[in-house]
Structure 1
């Protein structure tokens, strides 16, 4: 008996596992081999027709992930296969290149809540009436996993170009139980998910029952309130950017501020009035009335047809009354994407616009206009970008167009209909904010006031409005411009200044060392290269600095 019992236990355990495995695959619509064939088809198609997409990942890295998924498919449930495909496509990190999970070839569920990430956390901005008590609560954890860890795990399935894209479009992935399970947020696959929440100073748990995917009443990422769905914001007095959402665009004259406000939320013609007619009316109004400022709000604008941008751009350029520093403000945000990225790029290049708000969710230059690649067995679609949109020289490409004046929003500000971005745009004048910090510093330098640069830079660095201006990188660029002209004294001045502002930056000391090395001062060069090594002993900068110390020594300079 003592020998047979362990044997029977192991046999029973094996039988249970076999039943689970058979049951798991019985639920699948397709066989592992069919999924594998589709994966190989996608892999070959990408290499054959879309090799230009290998900008942020490499062919080798892509193939390695494909191989990992290929080997894992036989042990996967169908939702895990779907998420696996989604991660493969998301690895290109272009927002238009995405797995079409929403088509439902492989079914999935969604929790009936709408999340939004504010400056102070992720909140349930909208909920189905079933979960009224959770409306406006802060999301702390999902099934016990802190939300910070959840975001890290879910980031891999989002086809995100930058962090703004994750906030705007990726946040919804947190409501899909199948995706949460595949990414190890949920230990077991379940459509009944427990959220850890906080509201009015009280922490509590809320179990959410996910439903088969359907289009919830949502507009521009926020819930549309009604009998079934609840909104956390006070609906009695909506802010301007949430007024008239039945219209693609509208304008309003703010008489007290002598300002025309335009909210434009798609690059498409409204059925009431096409874009050229609308903007002709706007600019005619500006010309004929006491208007000192135009605010164009595109924070909700996810794109459309970029050929329709022309009347906006040319209209601003032609209007001398508005196209002046401080008189034309553009509010951008996390949903500014696609054709609207083209619009703000052109406004940035050709007008005197000052940008307010959050970074856009698109790279400045980007791949868009996707083509559906239909997988032969499952008919799932991978939407793969094929058109390169380059509005700026390649050296001006960035992860996003950053605002010159940074503003965010807390949940309380949203709930009470405050609008920090609009407030900043209305308050802006050339006298109270420096839209071009480097131009300002250059003027100080050339006018003999170089000693004021560090003082002024520290003030700006402490001001959250400048949070997206990379002072270190811009000063470093200026220093290398001098170094390229062999203006060694000027370069050393700039790099010394950077080390004062960023004493813990290995790169700052490395740059300063290079300025002295190229000027022939090996003693100072060795001193500053050593500082770089000390600050970053194992990093890329430290390795470079260590190599330069060796080069100096080999050149005949003894320590």
Structure 2
């Protein structure tokens, strides 16, 4: 932000005024922008106070006041980005100022995708095909990870998966890059640093109108102007007929597997969701099905009242609703009404979940109301409906799959699908889908030696490496102590200190259990061990 002379300010305002007149837009003064901000603030406090669930009112108001004082010194696009930050502050994906508001001056002609091994150019225009498939290293002078953190406040980030799915596009918007300090001056030409074939290279891209993008479900749609990094010699099942219908299923006779993709919870113009379900279950009833793989990894939601028929259909078919036969693929675009569907699948079926964590909190605010700011006419969408499919103590940032699988760039480029391969190649009938539940059952049954044996084996099995056992164990131990179940806590903490001998919290818990049982000498030894480990950290 530069200090401007009075003459410079008058010149800038004059130029902005005549530019706005030329574009048929009304020029807004700083006071009018401040009025819009105050209107937003008052509306939130009066009509949407329940949105202060993840954030404190005082923190949000302080951020509003900071923007209010900055407005006279900001350019119009910086103010729009600032207002967007205010709404994104609540961290609910439905609560937002639309992406179109901050990208109205143009976007870079690339489509980025965050693969397991980095962020790559998944698609671009033919004239920029030299960077197709390149790995993004820097935006301007900032490493890509730093640039992402800088634009993150503008994104209505529900969780990490939501940011992976929707946050990357903000890196392609020069107005956002400038407002968030990624580039020092606003420009329609942005220099990025890539790596391709092992060599770094700088490349400058110029903006295009947002409407000229060719992207659907976060992936490039090739056409006369756009090219995709994915080889078009074949199409994996999850992308088949993707742009023709929301619904698709296909039978794999060799394995007697039925694969079904549902990419929306709305009706499609070619087929209602009710008719799709009817057609799907008729096929299941008239064919031998060893596995049903139901894929909602690209499903961004719709009308969650449409979920009922599918849940009823699965529950009415116990031969399918069995561990090892029913698989449910979720991902970073599983959102909104499809999160409701995922919750219901988790509550009422025996599905094994594969893929990536969902983009939505398990319980969340959705169904936004449009609030139009009086001067700028910018639309803010503020959520009002609380959807709670899970008890509050079971709420979480996302639904995490039992067995996570994420695409590498090369797997995507060559049309591989490790999620499908995992489901097809393994026999899951004897798999422990939820090891923590297994541990609890053994503990409750008093089968302590089996518990120790199974825990030691599972903790060393790479199949379960994604499960945060240490955090789960710590919480279990704390709960036991809080409930006064001191003998059980002593057994568990004795086991936990074997698995995590360098963790001071485990030794602290062991000391508390000894202390509660009156074994002061042993408690003193455990506390001393905890203190020594804490001092080493």
* TM-score (norm: length of structure 1): 0.88
2:208, 2:194 → 1: CA distance? Answer: 20
| More displaced stretch, 329-338 vs 497-506 | 497-506
- Any residues of structure 2 matched to 1:21-60 within 5 Å, and which? 22=13, 26=17, 29-60=27-58
Determine if the alignment matches structure 1 residue 162 to structure 2 residue 159: yes
* Offset of residue 359 of structure 1: 0.1
Q: Cα–Cα, structure 1 residues 287 and 451, in superposed 2: closer, same or farther, change >3 Å? A: same
Say if 2:217 is the partner of 1:216: no
Give the 5 Å matches for 1:96-111. 96-103=94-101, 107-111=104-108
The residue number in structure 2 matching 1:365 is 363
Helix, strand or coil for the counterpart of 1:417? Answer: coil
Range moving further from structure 2, 426-435 or 414-423: 426-435
What does residue 545 of structure 1 align with? none
Unaligned runs of 5+ in 1: 1-11, 543-559
> After the TM superposition, which residues 290-309 of structure 1 pair with which residues of structure 2 at under 5 Å, given as runs?
290-309=288-307
Other-structure match for 1:426? 424
Following superposition of structure 1 onto structure 2, how do residues 11-22 of structure 1 map, counting pairs within 5 Å? 14=5, 17-18=8-9, 22=13
**CA distance in 2 between partners of 1:44 and 1:489 (Å):** 54
| Aligned residue number for residue 451 of structure 1 | 452
- After TM superposition, the structure 1 = structure 2 runs for residues 408-427 of structure 1, keeping only pairs within 5 Å, are 408-427=406-425
> Aligned-pair distance for 1:285?
1.8
Pick from 213, 226, 231 the counterpart of residue 228 of structure 2: 231
8 Å CA contact 1:298, 1:336 repeated in 2: yes
State the partner residue of 1:551: none
Change (3 A) 1:536 1:173: farther
1:287–1:74 distance in 2 versus 1, CA, 3 Å: same
Contact kept? 2:231, 2:413, Cα under 8 Å: yes
Q: Please say if residues 292 and 321 of structure 1, whose CA atoms lie closer than 8 Å, have aligned partners that are also in contact.
A: no
Relative to 1, partners in 2 of residues 1:208 and 1:37: Cα closer, same or farther, differing over 3 Å? same
Report matched runs for 1:337-356 at 5 Å.
Answer: 337-356=335-354
Cα deviation for residue 23 of structure 1 reads 6.1
Gaps of 5+ in 2: 21-26
> C-alpha offsets along residues 342-395 of structure 1, whole Å, 9 cap, x if unaligned?
000000000001100000000000000001111111111111000000000000
Match of 1:188 in 2: 185
Distance in 2 (alpha carbons) for counterparts of 1:300 and 1:87: 26
1:363 is paired with a residue whose SS is: coil
**What is aligned with 2:332?**
334
After TM superposition, list the pairs within 5 Å mapping 1:371-386 onto structure 2.
Answer: 371-386=369-384
Give yes or no for contact 1:296–1:329 (8 Å, CA) kept in 2.
yes
If the length of structure 2 is used for normalisation, what is the TM-score?
0.92
Spell out, residue by residue over 1:149-191, the C-alpha distance to the aligned partner (whole angstroms, 9 max, x if none): 1111111111111100000011111100000111111111101
* Alpha carbons 2:194, 2:201 under 8 Å: kept: yes
Provide the alpha-carbon RMSD of the alignment. 2.4
Alpha-carbon distance in structure 1 between the residues aligned to 2:530 and 2:7: 59
Conserved 8 A contact 2:30-2:72: yes
Cα deviation, 1:512-546, whole Å, max 9, x if unaligned, reads 333233323344445544555565579xxx9xxxx
SS at match of 1:386: strand
Aligned residues: 524
Distance 1:219 1:519, change over 3 A: same
Give, in angstroms, the shift of residue 278 of structure 1.
1.9
- Output the CA distance in 2 between the equivalents of 1:81 and 1:360: 31
Contact 1:90–1:159 (CA<8 Å) still a contact in 2?
yes
Provide the secondary structure at the position in 1 that maps to 2:137.
strand
3-state secondary structure, aligned to 2:223: coil
Distance 2:371 2:505 in 1: 44
Is the 8 Å Cα contact of residues 408 and 420 (structure 1) preserved in structure 2?
Answer: yes
The answer to whether the 8 Å contact 1:454/1:497 transfers is no
Aligned match for 2:139, one of 142, 153, 158: 142
Match of 1:258 among 256, 259, 266: 256
How far residue 458 of structure 1 moved from its aligned partner, in angstroms, is: 2.4
In structure 2, the CA distance between the partners of 1:124 and 1:532, relative to structure 1 (3 Å rule), is same
Q: CA deviation at 1:510?
A: 3.5
User: Could you tell me whether the CA contact under 8 Å between 1:406 and 1:466 is conserved in 2?
Assistant: no
Aligned residue in 2 for 1:270:
268
Q: Distance in 2 between matches of 1:199 and 1:68?
A: 42
Q: Which moved more, 1:41-50 or 1:427-436?
A: 427-436
